[in-house]
Amino acid sequence: MNKLFKIFAITTLCVLALAGCGGEKEEDKKADDKAAVKIGVTAGPHAEIMDNVAKIAAKDGLKIQVVEFSDFVSPNIALFQNELFADSMQHAPYLKATIAKEPKFDLVEVFKTINMPMAIYSKKVKKGESIPDGAVIGIPNDPSNGGRALLLLADKGLIEVKDKKDINTTVKDITSNPHNFQIKELDAAIIPNSLPDLTVAVINANYAIPTGLNPTSDSLMIENPDNPYVNILVTRKGNKDDPRIAQLKKAYQSDENKKFIIDHFKGTMVPSW
């Protein structure tokens, strides 16, 4: 019995010791998770750039956890719900349109990131050829990027709109469509895969590039560089003066990250600082 008791006692102590060690590691893990700032991005260029920023920021003691989303809407919702510290996936007009729709979203711009040119692509029309009458043109269905696409079409003389500077332009603002183009509004993320079923499509760079489309070399027409759609990093108003924002800005707008953007994307992404 004594021998059995000793074995039981030793076993119990070992289990308790292991449990204690395990608990400590779990606490450390939770502490690490808490220490890392979660930055929401859309898959593709924004994610790739933020992964690089995370490496740079780590040298300065800032831990970044990159959280990928497959759409533009979810990151701002997650940010509003305090599930993210910031997000990097939108331009100023999109943020403005989001806040107008959801005034409770107390989100603010903290610094500029990159310019990602929107462009017109086709699997059926070659560069230099005219887009045929009655063509089906796919554009994003969200207000901001949809307006941006329509302004691009207007700028290239394919349609006319009420005001070529109005970022809130919708299909209802088309004043002239002499070629009877059919404007088809689709979720921005699925347009690249829908390209074979469309005559042409207006596609955001962050969705075009992952599918092998280069705005500079593969598009029929590309957005002018002097446009209001520069991308930004966004956070909640209460985080605006958080010292980690300054660290994040330092890493993002560093010469090291600028070189990465220019080299990695071969000029299709333009640093905006």
pLDDT tens across the length of the chain (273 residues): 444 434 334 433 333 333 333 444 444 444 444 589 999 999 999 999 999 999 999 999 999 999 999 999 999 999 999 999 999 999 998 999 899 999 999 999 999 999 888 999 999 999 999 999 999 999 999 988 999 999 999 999 999 999 998 988 999 999 999 999 999 999 999 999 999 999 999 999 889 988 999 998 999 999 987 788 889 999 999 999 999 999 999 999 999 999 999 999 987 888 999
For residue 64, how far is the Cα from the chain centroid? 16
Which ranges of 59-204 does DSSP label H, i.e. alpha helix?
Answer: 73-80, 92-101, 143-155, 191-194
CA dihedral (114, 51, 86, 240) in degrees, to 10, reads -70
Is residue 98 helix, strand or coil? helix
Handedness of CA 212, 218, 220, 226 (dihedral sign): positive
In three state form, how does the secondary structure of 146-208 look? Answer: HHHHHHHHHHCCCCEECCCCCCCCCHHHEEECCCCCEEEEECHHHHHHHHHHCCEEEECHHHH
Our CA angle for 35, 44, 251, nearest 5°, is 40
Which run of H or of E encompasses 46? helix 45-58
CA neighbor of 122 nearest in space, from 198, 206, 222, 224: 198
What global pTM score does this model have? 0.69
What's the count of helices (H) and strands (E) in the chain, helices before strands? 9, 14
